[in-house]
Amino acid sequence: MEFLRPATWDEALAAKAEHPSALPISGGTDVMVELNFDRHRPSALLDLNRISELTAWESGRYEGQEGEVIRLGAAVPYTRITRELSAELPGLALAGNTVGSPQIRNRGSVGGNLGGASPAGDAHPALLAAGRDVLVEAESVRGTRLIPIDEFYVGVKRNSLEPDELIRAVRIPVADGPQQFSKIGTRNAMVIAVCAFGIALHPKNGTVGTGIGSAAPTPRRAVEAEEFIAGELAERGLWQSGGLIGPAAIQRFGELVAAAASPIDDVRGTAAYRRHALAVMARRTLTWTWNEYTQSLRSAA
Amino acid sequence: MSTIRTEKNLQNITTAHPDGIGGSPLRPDGILKVRGEFAYSSDMWHENMLWGMALRSPHAHARILSVDISEAVKHPGVEAVMTHEDIPGAKYYGLEIKDQPALAMGKIRYHGEAIAIVAADHPETARRALAKIKVEYEILPTITTEEQCLDPETYGYVHEPDEYKGHASGNVVHSQKLISGLGVTDEVRALADVVIKGDYVVGMQDQAFLGPESGLAVPAEDGGVDLYIATQWLHVDREQIAPVLGLPENKVRLTLAGVGGAFGGREDLSMQIHACLLAQRTGKPVKIVYSREESFFGHVHRHPAKLTYEHGATRDGKLVYCDARIVLDGGAYASASPAVVGNAASLGMGPYEVPNVNMLAVALYSNNPSCGAMRGFGAVQACFAYEAQMDKLAAELGMDPVELRQINAVEQGSIMPTGQEIDAPAPVADLLRRVKALPLPQELDTTHLDVRDIPGALSNTSHGEGIVRGVGYAVGIKNVGFSEGFDDYSTARVRLEVIGGEPVAMVHTAMAEVGQGGVTVHGQIARTELGVEQVTIHPANTEVGSAGSTSASRQTYMTGGAVKLACEAVRNELVALGRKRYGWDYNDLSLVGGKVVSASAGVLVPIADLLGDTAIDLTREHHHRPTVPFDKETGQGFGHVQYTFCAHRAVVDVDVELGLVKVVELAAAQDVGKALNPLSVVGQIQGGSTQGLGLAVMEEIVVKDGKVRNPSFTDYLIPTILDTPPMPVEVLELADEHAPYGLRGVGEAPTLSSTPAVVAAIRAATGLALNRVPVRPEHLTGTGE
């Protein structure tokens, strides 16, 4: 197995072009497990640890995205996302806090989650919920491609990257409303998600974002649930009034989230449990975010 | 974590020393282990060392049609490829029944069975060579359910009848009946006012030790082998290894390597024979280290069990009878199944006086993974069932569950269903009273929540919604030492000599230090008995006699007892030396602070001066009092050496909507006879409680059609620090006059009652029946198996 250690981003792109089957490695929290279990023997590893810009983030305004955006380097570890970006990216910060153990959070990154594209990756539901204009910066020697998050996940552990492309960063709009993330595991820490749910309120454009993890071949949104609740909020003028959503609508939202999943029975849980738990998490997280939103309305008034 | 120490009934000890018995000196291996500097068996290295690796079956039941190793042999860097045909000696081995082939012969009986072994210059070379071995299988239907196992005419035999000689054939490894009082007849049933029935299931728990199976076999010039190995019992390993190598036992020398946990999982052989065979074949040192995944296939697990219980009681809560049947899945090979059956049957009534008993316990052969020893050993499964029954009975009678247990509890002088009298303290009612009297933890304060304190923790599933608290109690009974007529004696050698002007004691045993702290305790015993400051612990090896197994809560009792005997012999010889030299006729001598002291005449002489150049070097064996096998038809007999008791109170918070559980507190009370090292004793109780908690809410090897579905720590979950609650421990010290220092084995009892206490608390919170462990979120939310 070859071990490639580019010193710069340009060298990394050149190496990837030359060795399209090389597997990028940064924190190694996923890749090394696969290697140690002998599930995967890539012809080459492409070590990105020397490229310091991948562990940096910046905020700014970018073409094609509204408002302020965080451009998150692919290798920024979860520990730093939770510590440094919990105001700007609250959903992702909460999700990051559920990844593995403290040691894993010190090494694991969003770029790794996206590269692996496992349906159980904790970052995915938060990214999906954060909005349709979350963009993955995919680069190759041929140039830069901005992949909308909705088009990124294409199959079980498959993403829409080309063989010569590397993930450089993810551009995520700064939250314009409350966000939440919940995950089920069968112990109280260090678990792979049995299922997970992310939600983001977007008061600016009157939408609600969702993301479902570990309950379908790919991470996915609960589109009908999003449309239903956005419709409720708009029709009843709740964005302005900050009134109660009410149990019937919250119940319906939960049902629609559960219906959007296509879970399986496996060693981590049954399909029936996953649907059930998604509905509960959807109800609870909607309630939490809405309470936070109405409180912010009241304190602004 | 508060430790409340209670009344004592100490025996007279020769001398007092702060690091002697009753003290809590630091363990010699503790700091090294915490710093990651301790050398475990997987860390060993030898010049010219080869790496061994095994090819394992992906099928649970198959006929091997052919094995073609020709390509693997040619692979560069490969020095040996071996199948059963290359074994120089006996082809079978086993702990109690020699039914397991060292390498598969003609048939595969479980998923992961080893077929061929390779030695190569690098682990990756070995892995590639294994991939070149071609095995043709004829896949057979698996025999995995109780129904299939018990109907061999239809479903076939795991081992053909007469396949190994002298033992019951068919798919029953071992069975034990037990009848006491009048048994359970219609007349007896008529005596009961209330009848409680229940069916219970215990899933397959794994020992989940962190140090994978590993060892280094070094060929010796005399044609023998030196094996450095992480195990629980050096001598019984040797007994099984030597015949397969075609060597006399004295040519197979074992030395204990650093052991990373055991819990019963190292009682059977794993890579020992394979490493030795490859070393013999290649003439080079061979190291084998299992990967985590291979480890799940490389050792036996706790028997999964189906238990059917029926209790009858009077209206005022006195037990009248118990009719019980326990079916243990032993898997492909016998391992320790017969002894596990004996425990399940003889301890299956729990620490209760039950006048009329009818019990049947059986272990079955199947194509599931082999099951054998694990902490609690047959008593764990039974405890889950009988304690669930006690709660059901209390509910039926409208009684307090603790009170019901107390009025039926055994005490000193009680007769067990086996007819054996409990001839040592048995403070069962008092242990229950103590855990119940402890203050309850604070209620959950939902206004100032830290998510780490509630079910789901950092997964952020609740901000206080859906959470219900429950409290549950349980108590259990475990035997100490090997039972049923087994003489599991221990040997200790103690040498006293002067080194650098100081008297130094060296303790040499074959005891496997697996983390239990035996080496610390041996030092404490030597300091107490010999009044010396300096004690060195000789590496454990087969140059000294057997120490028996580090299991069955027996090592402090048995090998600790042997060290005490050897120290006493050394002390007597030292004093004899003084009598001879100085003409002492004192009868009040002791060894204190490096000196011989007379209670009446004061300090007589420093030990160093008395010894001079003489070294006193003596070896003693310690045998426990004899026991007898249980009668096959009635289960009667003085079968156990000692009984030990522990009670738990569990407090849990359950998110009843999501089915997530957080154990808030797990309090224990245990009688330890005498705490030789109080800190270690509390550590054992907390560790055992945690392992029981794991079985209650998460730990299970999932097997489907004989295939293991979760051979990894990603999917076989063990408790993390966020799952492990504060564990207040009350330690009682009521001496057992039959045991050295009055001590009682500690390690296993807390593993028994922890599981049913946690499940009782979950039942209290949810109102659900919960007849199966581990309890999964599905069981709490009605969403599937």
Residue B88, in any domain of the structure:
yes
Which of A34, A181, A187, A264 to mutate: most B Cβ within 10 Å? Answer: A187
Q: Give the pLDDT of residue B168.
A: 58
Alpha-carbon gap, residue A228 to A238, rounded angstroms = 14
User: How far does the CA of residue A275 sit from the closest CA of chain B (Å)?
Assistant: 9
Question: Do B659 and B674 sit in the same domain of this protein?
Answer: yes
Residue B102: C-alpha distances to residues A97, A123, A188, B81 (Å): 47, 47, 41, 14
Q: What distance in Å separates residue A5's CA from the closest CA in chain B?
A: 22
Smallest CA–CA separation between B645 and chain A, in Å?
29
The CATH code of the domain that includes B81 is: 3.90.1170.50
Task: Report how far residue B229's alpha carbon sits from residue B272's, in angstroms, rounded to the nearest whole number.
Answer: 8
Which member of A187, A270, A272 has the closest CB to residue B719? A187
- Whether B159 maps to a domain, the answer reads no
Residue type, B393: L
- The reply to whether A39 touches chain B by the CB within 8 Å rule is no
Domain that holds residue B272: 41-140+214-259+266-294
- Nearest CA to B562 out of B622, B609, B512 is that of B622
Instruction: Return the CATH number at B410.
Output: 3.30.365.10
Instruction: Assess whether B759 and B720 both reside in one domain.
Output: yes
Instruction: Read off the amino acid at residue B710.
Output: N
Q: Which of residues 275-314 of B touch A (CB under 8 A)?
A: 291-293
Query: Is B698 part of the contact surface with chain A (CB cutoff 8 Å)?
Result: yes
Q: Which residues of B touch A188 (CB under 8 A)?
A: 452, 455-459, 660, 662, 720, 722-723
> How many independent structural domains does chain B possess?
3
Q: Does B206 map to a domain?
A: no
CA distance B778 to chain A (A): 6
Touching A: B residues 629-668, CB under 8 Å? 657-660, 662
Check CB contact of B123 with chain A, cutoff 8 Å. Answer: no
* Within a domain: B187: no
Please tell me the least confidently modeled range out of A34-38, A86-90, A166-170: A34-38
> Quick one: tokens of B671?
């009688």
Compare CB distances from B457 to A101, A189, A269 and report the shortest one's residue. Answer: A189
Comparing CB atoms, the residue among B459, B466, B784 nearest residue A98 is: B459
CB contact under 8 A, A270 and B781: no
Q: Which helix (DSSP H) or strand (DSSP E) does residue B66 occupy?
A: strand B62-68
Chain A CB contacts of B705 below 8 Å: none
* Dihedral pair phi/psi, residue B265, rounded to 5°: -70, -10
Q: Which of B 126-185 lie inside 8 A of A, CB atoms?
A: 127
B248 and B350 inside one domain: no
pLDDT per 10-residue tile (average), chain B, 785 residues:
36 61 93 95 97 98 98 98 98 94 97 98 97 98 96 91 60 96 98 98 98 98 98 98 98 98 98 98 98 96 98 98 98 96 98 98 97 98 98 98 98 98 98 98 88 94 96 98 98 98 97 97 97 96 98 98 98 95 92 94 96 97 98 98 98 98 98 97 98 98 98 96 97 97 97 98 98 98 89
Chain B residues with beta carbon closer than 8 angstroms to that of A1: none
Same domain, B364 and B476: yes
The identity of residue A11, as a single letter, is: E
Contact across the interface for B709 and A194, Cβ inside 8 Å: no
- Peptide bond before residue B711 is cis, with ω within 30 degrees of 0: no
Check CB contact of B43 with chain A, cutoff 8 Å: no
For residues B120 and B72, membership in a common domain is answered with yes
ipTM over 0.95: yes
Identify whether B189 is part of a domain: no
Q: How far is A278 from chain B (nearest CA, A)?
A: 9
Total residue length of chain B: 785
Nearest Cα of chain B lies from the Cα of A218 at a distance, in angstroms, of: 20
Distance of CA B573 to the CA centre of its chain: 37
Three-state DSSP state, A179: strand
Residues of B in contact with A271 (CB under 8 A): 784
**Is B465 in Cβ contact with A184 (below 8 Å)?**
no
- Whether residue A140 lies within 8 A of chain B, CB to CB, comes out as no
In chain B, which residues have their Cβ closer than 8 Å to the Cβ of A281? 461, 658
- Among candidate residues B570, B595, B622, the one where a domain is terminated: B622
Q: Are residues B667 and B764 in the same domain?
A: yes
Residue in B with minimal Cα distance to A33: B714
Q: Side-chain half-sphere of B399: how many Cα atoms within 13 Å?
A: 22
Q: How open is the CA angle B193-B195-B196, to the nearest 5 degrees?
A: 145
Domain ranges for chain A: 2-42+57-173, 179-300
> How many CB atoms neighbour CB B453 within 10 A?
16
Q: State the Cα–Cα distance between residues B675 and B732, nearest whole angstrom.
A: 9
The interface residues of chain A toward chain B in range 184-223, judged by CB-CB distance below 8 A, are 184-192, 194
CB atoms within 10 A of CB B174: 22
Candidate from B291, B455, B710 with C-beta closest to A267: B710
The answer to whether the Cα torsion of B556, B557, B559, B562 is positive or negative is positive
CA-CA distance, A14 to A166, in Å (whole number)?
A: 11
Picking from B130, B123, B115, the residue whose alpha carbon sits closest to that of residue B71 is: B130
- Classify A179-300 by CATH class: alpha beta
Contact residues, chain B, for A181 at CB < 8 Å: 460
> A276 and B781: CB-CB below 8 Å?
yes
> Does B559 share its domain with B652?
no
Tell me the pLDDT band of A64, cut-offs 50, 70 and 90.
Answer: confident
**What average pLDDT does range A283-289 have in this prediction?**
98
Instruction: State whether B498 and B603 are in the same domain.
Output: yes
Closest Cα in chain B to A197: B461
Question: In whole angstroms, what separates CA B486 from the centre of its chain?
Answer: 17
Q: Cα separation of B392 and B769, whole Å?
A: 9
Does B460 reach chain A within 8 Å, measured CB to CB? Answer: yes
B778·A284 Cβ contact <8 A: no
- Binary contact (A185, B459; C-beta < 8 A): yes
Q: Under an 8 A CB cutoff, do A273 and B781 touch?
A: yes
Q: Residues of B with CB below 8 A from A276's CB?
A: 781, 783
Q: How many angstroms separate the CA atoms of B710 and B552, rounded?
A: 28
Q: Report the C-alpha gap between B469 and B484 in whole angstroms.
A: 43
Inter-chain residue contact A184 with B459, CB threshold 8 Å: yes
Q: What is the pLDDT of residue B10?
A: 31
B36 CB near a chain A CB, below 8 Å?
no
What distance in Å separates the CA atoms of residue B146 and residue B367, rounded to the nearest whole number? 11
Could you give the 3-state DSSP secondary structure of residue A167? strand
**Are the CB atoms for B431 and B473 separated by under 8 Å?**
no
Q: Quick check: helix, strand or coil at residue A71?
A: strand
Tokens of B605: 């002489």
CA-nearest of B712, B457, B777, B717 to A98 is B457
DSSP-derived secondary structure for B252-283:
EEEEEPPP---TTTTSS-SSHHHHHHHHHHHS
Say whether residue B724 is in contact with chain A using an 8 A CB cutoff.
no
> Cβ of A280 and B784 within 8 Å?
no
Among candidates B456, B462, B778 on the partner chain, residue whose Cβ is nearest the Cβ of A273? B778
Q: Given CB atoms, is A104 within the 8 Å cutoff of chain B?
A: no
Query: What CATH class is the domain A2-42+57-173?
Result: alpha beta
Residue B699 DSSP SS3: coil
Instruction: Give the number of beta-carbon pairs within 8 Å between A and B.
Output: 108
Mark which residues 87-116 of B lie under 8 Å from A by CB.
none
Specify whether the CB–CB gap between B450 and B456 falls below 8 A: no
Query: What does the block give as tokens for B563?
Result: 């060290």
Q: B661 to chain A, minimum CA–CA distance in Å?
A: 8
Q: Same domain, yes or no, for B599 and B667?
A: no
- Examine the domain organization and report whether B318 and B435 are in the same domain: yes
A194 contact residues in B (CB cutoff 8 A): 777
User: Which chain B residues contact residue A33 at CB under 8 A?
Assistant: 714
User: Do A184 and B709 make contact, defined as CB atoms within 8 angstroms?
Assistant: no
Q: Which helix (H) or strand (E) holds B751?
A: helix B749-766
CA-based nearest residue in chain B for residue A30: B714
CB contact A181 to B (< 8 Å):
yes
Do B633 and B618 belong together in one domain? no
Which of B458, B462, B783 lies nearest to residue A189, judging by beta carbons?
B458
pLDDT value of residue B17: 76
Query: Which of A32, A86, A186 has the most B C-beta neighbours within 10 Å, making it the best mutation to test the interface with B?
Result: A186
Using a pLDDT cut of 70, give the percent of chain A over it: 100
Token pair in block for residue A276: 């059930």
Of A111, A117, A96, A122, the residue nearest A51 (C-alpha): A111
**Nearest C-alpha of chain B: how many angstroms from A45?**
17
Distant-in-sequence, close-in-space partners of B646: CB < 8 Å, separation ≥ 6: B431, B475, B476, B478, B668, B669, B670, B685, B688, B749, B750, B752, B753
Considering the domain architecture, whether residues B249 and B364 belong to the same structural domain is answered as: no
